Structure 1
Amino acid sequence: MFRITNQLTVVSLLAALTGLMACSNGEQPQDVPVDEPVSAYDLFMDNLRAECGNAYAGNLTLEPEGDTMLDGRELLLVHFRECEDDVIRVPFHIEQLDGEWDRSRTWIFTRTEDGIDLRHDHRKPDGSDDDFTMYGGPTYGEADPNQMEFISFERTEETGMYRGWRIIIEPGVRYVYGTHRGGEWSWRVDFDLTEAVDAPPAPWGHD
């Protein structure tokens, strides 16, 4: 014989006995809800969101031969500026060699029903749309919380070679943005997430 001195133990024992009685009467015990596994797409968005409000410096690490967009000596800044439930806006600022700032580019990540969509919002200094803007594409291939690839169907169809963008995000470590052709990097910038810098002004058209 033993004594039950803990009230919680009594409640637990009664619950167990009730379950046994229900089973003996032919009743099925209620299913215990099981948490759904978190999608790699949601984890990727969470990794971006973990840096929200922070800005970091980076540098050009790869550029195709003949490409003149960057010299390699510019100051590059990434700013995880706006984080909504399904949309994250990440401006890309370039301090040019003459000291002027190019604040024309914002990367927009949107969580969709099937994955994530990446768009490039390009603006003119007055905030109006650039002639070439909002291009991008959906996630493609295997999803990884730290790395996603986005396909450009138009560019792939034009060249017959798989083309798109690759993003790497490791919170507190690094953020990498670049283009790829046939699965290989063709253009790439790397940002060091170990040390934040002062946040830049709003990108053009996003005041």
Structure 2
Amino acid sequence: MNYLTVLTALGFAVAIPGVAKTPALTSSSAAFEQFFQQLSLQCGKAYPGKLTLEPEGDDMLTGTELLIVHFRECTDSQLKVPFHIELEATADWNRSRTWIFTKHADKLELRHDHRTKEGDDDKVTMYGGFSYGEGTVIRHEFQSVERTAESGYFRGWRIEIEPGVRYTYGTVRGSEWSWRIDFDLSQPLAELPPAPWGHSE
């Protein structure tokens, strides 16, 4: 199944039971709270995406795979967002990755939950960092303290969200994207993906 084929069969997904009701955005909310609320608006939905930027020599993705983001588990303080990758060569799926956003009293935290197909923790998992700078209602950056210290310039992740338009995840070096994937928020999938590896249905 390729990206264009899926797009022709898309419809609106129904929010799953138990998803936390998202409070309305208010001008008095801090930027990180408004950003978290924008992410929360997607709860219970999944969207197709594709690779849009990859550094030379990086072969994690070819740019032809169907990618799916699923805003799957939502509470007032935490969002668990699986990232599914279609493996074209085998028609199978890599369901090892889940992005976890946690809202603290004064900032956000991003962690990467990586699991094996058996559901165990991967060798590298739960890495990430806290939001850096004030951010905006549509963009936040999360610093990797270790990678920043090693390189001497900012290293981390950038997340952008425009409800109804796009959700973007990527890595940042300095002020520039180094790796980026974009999801089409105007095209919610009619059929939600199964649970990521290591998570219950």
TM over 0.5: yes
1:94 to 85, 94, 98: 85
RCO higher in structure (CA 8 A, sep ≥6): 2
Give the counterpart letter for 2:171 in structure 1: T
Aligned to 1:6: none
Q: How does 1:1-207 map to 2 (within 5 A)?
A: 37-97=28-88, 98-197=90-189, 198-207=191-200
- Contact in 1 for aligned 2:78/2:103 (Cα 8 Å): yes
Give unpaired runs (5+ residues) of structure 2: 1-25
The residue aligned with 1:16 is none
Structure 1 residue ranges (4+ consecutive) displaced by more than 3 angstroms after TM superposition: none
Task: Measure how far apart 1:38 and its partner are.
Answer: 1.0
Matched residue SS, 2:119: coil
Please report how far the alpha carbon of residue 36 of structure 1 lies from its aligned counterpart in structure 2 after TM superposition. Answer: 8.7
> Which amino acid counterpart does residue 192 of structure 2 have in structure 1?
A
CA distance in 1, matches of 2:106, 2:132: 10
Aligned mates of 2:46, 2:66 — CA distance in 1: 13
Normalised TM-score (structure 2): 0.84
Provide the rounded CA distance (Å) in 1 between the counterparts of 2:28 and 2:160: 22
Equivalent residue pairs, number: 173
CA deviation string 1:51-105 (max 9, x = no partner): 1000000000000100010011111000000110100011000001221100000
Query: Which of these two proteins has the greater Rg computed from alpha carbons?
Result: 1
Q: Secondary structure at the match of 1:154?
A: helix
- Aligned partner of 2:19 in structure 1 is none
Larger helix percent: 1
Q: 5+ residue gaps in structure 1?
A: 1-34
Equivalents in 2 of 1:167, 1:143: separation in Å?
10
The alignment's TM-score, normalised by the length of structure 1, stands at 0.81
Cα separation, 2, equivalents of 1:90 and 1:145: 19
